[in-house]
């Protein structure tokens, strides 16, 4: 029997992936450790190594296939005593990516399952003269764009008498504009008909139907394009929706003076110039968060159902924007690293993140996160917690502001606004406030980070 090579789980959360590229072909001999393919996960493109020795008998999943489930047989390997050519000629064919499924809202008419000629079939003349069949959704509503419905109402046109020229027979603007006016029929006041009115208390259409109507409206009015979601964007959507739905967020905001930290940064960079290392403000904030998490261990936790995980080390996830999404590479032991070590780590992790070359352990895990949009001029924002973590801080831009000095006089200082988001299931508000106070103290008195 040939050896089945299956789609691997390249990370703990991976459920499916894209077989980006085959590096072998049918008939090639492989040994354990040989690179067979490149597989694209939701975060990176990774190499897939052979575990067994043999000859590639048949490739079951074609290069470029998306949405390949973990455990799917992607190739068959002939062993030492097997004929690879016999496997290649056997049953089965390459499995390609499934075509995009039609939107549930743009469903076929309720009677589409009944036997009869397809729309592309040539119909007899007598049939073409029959009254048109208007496509309808499951609840009996006529499938038409909002604009088409409004024009039909204004012209007194019965949509049941109109043949749609849009996708799946959808009635669009041009169809009702060419229809004869005054054909509207009086309808019984059924619940379905009532839902077509402007009653604010009427039941809302299904989400899928609303999405379809939005697309139909765009078709009528606005030039647009539709992009298929990447694996990364799907994962971001799923995880952030999960976070907002399951984790009760509490937000705590502080204003922090940056003058001493920026002065120290200038001194540090002058000293490191010959080494070619440059420390950023964000590097120093990563260390400040790491130290604050150790100082307030009640916030260095993760919520795990009936358990609370307490971390002894502060591994800070740093949000990095990459083409098509967001990734959070981890600065491990941020509390114990020097500023220069953090600067080297963030530079390396950021570069490899943008190239899609991070290993799963370099972006999965972490005990808390930091997201800095100050370099984009954003003054204040709140961040969504990265589950299963229980805390993330959102850093705004440093700017000159009026400030009350220690002696009570009014002056000008460089100040940034920082907001912490905490999972209230795991972190009490008072403990979150202590973390923000510890972070503020470290940033405003940065010598405490090197003492």
Structure tokens at 201: 């208390």
Residue 322 belongs to what H/E stretch?
A: strand 320-322
Q: Measured between alpha carbons, how far is 103 from 119 in angstroms, rounded to an integer? A: 19
Rounded Cα distance between 233 and 146, Å, is 29
End-to-end alpha carbon distance in the chain:
66
> Is residue 30 within 8 Å of residue 24, measured between CB atoms?
yes
Q: Which among 127, 94, 134 is positioned nearest to 111, based on CA atoms?
A: 134
CA nearest neighbour of 366 among 348, 394, 400, 389: 389
Active centre residues (catalytic): 424
Whether 160 and 133 have beta carbons less than 8 Å apart is answered as no
Q: Which of 196, 200, 201, 164 is nearest to 179 (CA)?
A: 164
Reduced to 3 states, what is the DSSP secondary structure of residue 385?
Answer: coil
Overall size of the chain counted in residues: 451
Contact partners, residue 264, CB within 8 Å, separation at least 6: 284, 446, 447
Other Cβ atoms closer than 10 A to 188: 6
Residues 165, 168, 169, 175, CA torsion sign? negative
Q: Any idea of the CA torsion for 319, 321, 325, 329, to the nearest 10 degrees?
A: -40
Question: How far, CA to CA in Å, does 308 sit from each of 176, 250, 299, 408, 423?
Answer: 61, 18, 11, 44, 12
Task: Taking the CA atoms of 141, 143, 145 and 148 in sequence, report the sign of the dihedral they define.
Answer: negative
Exposure string over 380-397, b if 16+ CB within 10 A, otherwise e: eeebbbbebbbbbbbbbb
Q: At what angle are helices 146-155 and 207-221 packed, to 10 degrees? A: 70
CB 290 within 8 A of CB 283: no
Write down the residue that tokens 């490191």 correspond to. Answer: 272
Question: For the CA atoms of 353, 359, 361, 363, what is the dihedral angle to 10 degrees?
Answer: 20
């Amino acid at each position: 029997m040939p050896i089945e090579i299956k789609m691997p789980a390249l990370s703990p959360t991976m459920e499916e992936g894209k077989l980006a590229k085959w590096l072998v072909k049918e008939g090639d001999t492989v040994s354990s450790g040989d690179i067979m393919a490149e597989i694209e996960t939701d975060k990176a493109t990774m190499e897939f190594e052979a575990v067994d020795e043999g000859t590639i008998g048949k490739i079951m999943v074609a290069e470029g296939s998306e949405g390949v489930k973990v455990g799917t047989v992607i190739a068959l390997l002939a062993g030492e005593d097997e004929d690879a050519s016999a496997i290649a000629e056997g049953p089965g064919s390459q499995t390609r990516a499934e075509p995009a499924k039609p939107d549930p809202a743009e469903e076929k008419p309720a009677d589409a399952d009944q036997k009869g000629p397809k729309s592309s079939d040539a119909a007899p003349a007598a049939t073409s003269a029959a009254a048109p069949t208007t496509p309808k959704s499951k609840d009996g509503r006529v499938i038409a764009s909002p604009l088409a419905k409004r024009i039909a109402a204004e012209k007194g046109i019965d949509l049941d008498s109109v043949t749609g020229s849009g996708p799946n027979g959808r009635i669009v603007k041009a169809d009702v504009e060419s229809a004869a006016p005054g054909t509207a029929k009086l309808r019984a006041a059924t619940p379905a008909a009532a839902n077509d009115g402007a009653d604010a208390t009427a039941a809302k259409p299904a989400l899928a139907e609303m999405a379809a109507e939005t697309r139909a409206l765009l078709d009528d009015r606005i030039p647009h394009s539709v992009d298929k979601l990447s694996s990364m964007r799907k994962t971001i959507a799923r995880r952030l929706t999960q976070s907002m739905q399951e984790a009760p967020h509490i937000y705590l905001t502080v204003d922090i003076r940056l003058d001493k930290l920026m002065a120290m940064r200038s001194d540090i960079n002058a000293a490191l110039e010959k080494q070619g290392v440059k420390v950023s403000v964000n590097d120093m904030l990563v260390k400040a968060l790491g130290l604050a998490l150790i100082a307030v261990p009640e916030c260095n936790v993760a919520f795990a159902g009936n358990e609370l995980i307490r971390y002894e080390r502060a591994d800070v996830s740093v949000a990095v924007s990459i083409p098509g999404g967001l990734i959070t590479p981890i600065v491990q032991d941020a509390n114990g690293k020097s500023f220069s070590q953090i600067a080297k780590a963030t530079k390396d992790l950021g570069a490899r993140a943008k190239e899609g070359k991070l290993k799963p352990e370099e972006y999965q895990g972490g005990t808390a996160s930091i997201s800095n949009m100050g370099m984009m001029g954003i003054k204040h924002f709140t961040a969504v917690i990265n589950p299963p973590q229980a805390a993330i801080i959102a850093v705004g831009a440093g700017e000159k502001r009026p400030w009350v000095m220690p002696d009570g006089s009014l002056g000008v200082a460089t100040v940034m606004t920082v907001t912490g988001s905490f999972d209230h299931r795991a972190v009490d508000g008072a403990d979150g406030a202590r973390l923000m106070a510890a972070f503020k103290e470290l940033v405003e008195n940065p010598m405490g980070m090197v003492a």
